[in-house]
Structure 1
C-alpha cells in the first residue's frame, strides 16, 4: 500500500507518494494559488496526485490514505483548518473537499506537527514514545509526539514552542508579542545579531563577511567567523546557542521527551550547534546527573519531513 503526503505551504505545495517504510517513491509540486481560494487549491492538489499515480501506474486500490499538512490551527478530528493566516483559511473543510476527488480516508494535521511525525518515524525505534522536533528556520517551529501520537491540545494549537515566553517585553516577534523564543533562536534572530555585531565591531571578521555579502548577514556568517577564530563571531554564536538551549531546557523540563531532534536551516551547522546545546541541557535541565536526560539529535529528513509525516497521518 502507498500513502499520499501533501505538504501545503503558503507559496508552494509539495506532494509525495510514500511507501510502508517511509520512503518517498515519487514527488512533485505546484504553486499555492492562495487568492483563488481553497477549492482551487485542493483541485490543484488532486491534479498533482493523479499525475503521480499515472507516472507510477498506481491504482486507487493501492492507496491507503491521503494526509495533508497545513499551516495554522487544525481540527484534526474533522479535517478542518480552523485558521491559517498564510493561506487565508478560516474554517476550511479540507478533508471533505479532497474526498470529492478521491474515495479515500483524508487526514489533516498542522504542518509542523507533520514534520515532527516524519522525523519520529525516521528514528525507526519503537521504544521511543515521547519526542519533540524543533525547527530553527525563519521562525522556530516544532511538534510534540506523546505516547507515539501527535499532541495537539484541546484546541489543535499545541506545539507552538517558538512562542514560549523567553524574555518579558523582549525582542518583538512576528506573532505580535514580545520576547518569544523565536525572536532569539530563529535564523532571523542570529542574522539580526550578526548584523548588529558587524555594526558595533567594524574591524571584526564578522563585519568583513557581512560587508562582502552586500551588508547582509546569514545564518552561517557568525559560525564561519567563529571557526576562523574571530572573537566577535564566537560571541554571537555563544549567545545564540544559549538562547536555543534555554528553550530546549524548558521543553525538556516540561515534557521530559526521550529524544529532541533539531532541524531547519541553522541545524546544518551540525555538531557546532548541537554539541554546546547538549552541554547546556545536561547541566541545566531538572534532575541530578544520575538521571537520564533527553537525547539531542540532528534531524535527518530535511524538506521531506512534512511530506512523510503528512502521509503517515493515516498509518
Structure 2
C-alpha cells in the first residue's frame, strides 16, 4: 500500500525531475498526503476562496467527500473559513480559503554576486527576507549567511509558525566552478563547489526537508506557482541575472528534460553585429552591464545591493537594454521555431522601469525579424520580479507537499 501511495505521489508532482531532495528526511507521512487533499489545496490556491459545493464541482469529488476532506484540512489549520455569504434563499454559504500560516517555506538563492533568503507563507507572500552581497560565491559564505538568516527570521515567529515550517528550497546555478574567469576569481576558490556536497551539509543543519534545483528553473517555477495564473499552457521564460537563464513551460508544467537542463537558454547562439555568432549569455546578462560600467570608470556594486533602483549612466543603460533586447528577439525566434510558444515572459534582477523598457524594446526588435512560418508570441513582463529565484526555491517544498501537477487541475 505504501509503495503504491509513493508511486501515485511521485506521478502527480509538477515536472521537477531535476529537484534533488535531501535523503535524510526520506518520504515521510507529509509526503503521502492524499491526492484529493492536495487537489483541494491546489484548487484553493489557483481559484481563490470557494464554498464546499463549488470545490466539489471543480474537483469532481462528491459533496460528502469534499466536505470530509475539508474538515480534515481545517482541523490541520491548512484552510480556514471566510465570513458567510448570504444568498437570496437558503442557508448562507461559507467559503473556505488557504490559511496564511498553514505552512511556511524558506527559499535560498545563491547567485554569482549576491545571496537571498526569503520566508514565504502558504499564500506565496514574502513574510520577510535577508540579502547578502559579495564579490564571488563560496560555500562557507553561503552556509554562514543561511544559518544566520534562518536564525534571524525564525526568531520573529511564534511556536505555531515554527512548527509549520515545511521545508527549505535552494536555487543554485549549475557548474559554479566553471565561472571563475567570468567572476574574476582564482579557479581554486570556486573548486569547493565541485568538491563539497552542499545539499547534505545544509540538510544536517535543520530538522525540515531540503530541496535543490537550478536557479533559472526555480525562477520559472515561481512564475508558474505564484505568478499571474492568466497565462497560456505553453510559454518560454527568461530570467536576467548575472547570467541570463530561463525555463520552458509545456502543458502548464515546468519541463526540465531528462537531465534537468532543458531551458538553459544562455548558450543559445545569436548573431554578432560584427558577423558570426555568440552565445546569448554574452549579450543579455547583467555581467555585460557590469563590464560596461567598469569600462566607463564606474562602480558596479550598486547593481547587486538592490534591484529597486540603479544609479547607472543613462547612455550605458540604453546601450545594454538595446543589445539585450536584440539578443532576446533572436533567441525567441529560434525557440519558437522548435516549439510554438504562445507567450514569452521576461523577468530578472531588474528595476521595474528597466524591465518595462526591455520588454518594449524586445517587442520592437522582434517586429523587425523575419517571422515567416511562425506565430508571433505575446511578450510579457514577469509578475514575480527580482526575488523569482528565491521564491521559486521556496515553492519546491510547497509543490512537493501541498500541490498536484497543474495538469491535474
Q: Is 1:260–1:294's contact at 8 Å kept on the other side of the alignment?
A: yes
Provide, for residues 56-113 of structure 1, a one-character-per-residue CA deviation record: whole Å limited to 9, x for no partner.
225542011210011115xxxxxxx997757541164333222212222211011122
User: What TM-score do the two structures reach when normalised by structure 1?
Assistant: 0.68
Once the two structures are superposed, the pairs formed by residues 134-153 of structure 1 within 5 Å of their partners are 134-153=238-257
Are 2:386 and 1:303 equivalent residues in the alignment? yes
Q: What residue number does 2:121 align with?
A: 19
User: What TM-score do the two structures reach when normalised by structure 2?
Assistant: 0.54
Once the two structures are superposed, the pairs formed by residues 62-141 of structure 1 within 5 Å of their partners are 62-73=164-175, 88=191, 89-90=193-194, 92-125=196-229, 128-141=232-245
Provide, for residues 11-43 of structure 1, a one-character-per-residue CA deviation record: whole Å limited to 9, x for no partner.
4321111012211101123467978x6467435
Q: Is 2:242–2:287's contact at 8 Å kept on the other side of the alignment?
A: yes
Q: Is 2:219–2:391's contact at 8 Å kept on the other side of the alignment?
A: yes
Q: Is 1:136–1:266's contact at 8 Å kept on the other side of the alignment?
A: no
Q: What residue number does 1:294 align with?
A: 377
How many angstroms apart in 2 are the aligned matches of 1:261 and 1:275?
12
Q: What residue number does 2:48 align with?
A: none
**CA-CA distance at 1:164 after TM superposition:** 0.9
Are 2:405 and 1:312 equivalent residues in the alignment? no
Describe the shift of the 1:90–1:4 C-alpha distance in structure 2 as closer, same or farther (beyond 3 A): same
How many angstroms apart in 1 are the aligned matches of 2:168 and 2:326?
40
Q: What residue number does 1:207 align with?
A: none
Are 2:362 and 1:263 equivalent residues in the alignment? no
Q: Is 1:252–1:285's contact at 8 Å kept on the other side of the alignment?
A: no
Q: What residue number does 2:130 align with?
A: 28
SS at match of 2:279: coil
SS at match of 1:162: coil
How many angstroms apart in 1 are the aligned matches of 2:135 and 2:313?
30
Q: 2:359 aligns with which of 274, 292, 295?
A: 274
Describe the shift of the 1:143–1:249 C-alpha distance in structure 2 as closer, same or farther (beyond 3 A): same
Structure 2 segments unaligned to the other structure (5+ residues)? 1-102, 184-189, 300-310, 400-409
Task: Return the structure number with greater strand share.
Answer: 1
Are 2:350 and 1:249 equivalent residues in the alignment? no
Give the count of matched residue pairs: 273
